[in-house]
Amino acid sequence: MSLRKSAWLLPLALMVSLPASADVLDINLNGDAAKISLIRPLPPEGLEAGGGLLLHKDDGYILDAEMHLVDRPEPGRNALFLGIGGKLPLISDDRRNADGAALAVGGKLRWTLPDYNRAAVAGSVYYAPSVISLFDIDSYQEYSLRGEFQILEDANVYLGYRHIELSYDGDKFGADRKFDDGIYAGFNLSF
């Protein structure tokens, strides 16, 4: 079974394995792409897992599963949130007719501004070199930065920048390229 035909199994497996309610549902989009993610805390405390789907109108899609060890150094205030771990992106690149996967390691953080408790800055960085990239993908890079504003107790809106770059194994797929690069807007809901 090809990666392209079996990619729908990942979100199905995530939905079945996670409890019925999600901690955070995140939806964002720009002119070319839309992403939906689901993140859930797991026992023991300090561990979270989730998955997402980034659908690009011209380039295909990236399905990912992620797991992080997380910490809130100031638990009463929740001013700083740190996560270290990784994600497993399954990539279907229609433009290059390439499929692949990677085990991208990295982390994420979110910092709530001290004097403006409704405003926050968040970012993430992930990288997978060729040694942990599979099939047609030779390496994977992703980073994002965004500004958030809390509009309700359990809802944030945000504006950010996301960059995803892919490198390919061999000459038949061409040079490295940006799968997604640009400004996006979205919201997340906590349950």
Which of 145-154 are b and which e, b meaning 16 or more Cβ less than 10 Å from the residue's Cβ? ebebebeeee
CB atoms within 10 A of CB 52: 22
Q: pLDDT, tens digit, for every residue of 21-54?
A: 458 999 999 999 999 999 999 988 889 999 999 9
Q: pLDDT, tens digit, for every residue of 103-126?
A: 999 999 999 998 888 999 999 999
* Class at the top of the CATH hierarchy for domain 3-190: mainly beta
Task: Give which of 168, 81, 73, 94 is closest to 120, Cα–Cα.
Answer: 81
Query: Which secondary structure element, helix H or strand E, spans residue 168, and what is its range?
Result: strand 155-168
* Phi, psi for 157 (deg, rounded to 5): -115, 155
- The domain segmentation of the chain, as residue ranges, is 3-190
pTM of the model: 0.84
Q: In one letter, which amino acid is 153?
A: E
Q: Which of 39-48, 69-78, 139-148 has the highest mean pLDDT?
A: 139-148
